[in-house]
Amino acid sequence: MESDLADPGNFVLHAWVDESMRRASDGHRGLYLLAAVVADPTSCEPVRDALRELVWKANGRLHWRDETRSRRAKIASAISIQDLAHVVVVAAPVDPRRQ
């Protein structure tokens, strides 16, 4: 039996992407962050289930900015044990004069 990966038309991945802008309060350069997680479609539901378990009903969503330090650690730990193809985070300085 031939693998689906042999046919590029059958090669599918899912990705979740988020971005964030951190502005420096002292007038210095801020930081633009972009994060992406890539997964095989067959492993997406367990990832979604694991993260849904971490959503507080009061918030209705996970949002890094709104989480405490201990909750951020718990969320990062939950993500780290998932069956993911790739986790990519990039950052670039942002000139505050251009914002």
Q: Residue 26: which domain range?
A: 4-94
Check residue 50 and give its pLDDT. 93
Rg (the chain; Cα; Å): 17
Give the tens place of pLDDT for each residue, 41-98: 999 999 999 999 999 877 788 888 888 999 999 999 999 999 898 999 999 998 766 6
Q: Does a structural domain hold residue 8?
A: yes
**Is the per-residue pLDDT at 1 higher than 50?**
no
Q: Does a structural domain hold residue 44?
A: yes
**Is the per-residue pLDDT at 4 higher than 70?**
no
Closest CA to 64 of 20, 23, 15: 20
Angle between helices 69-80 and 44-52 (to 10 degrees): 160
Global pTM reads 0.70
| Structural domains counted in the chain | 1
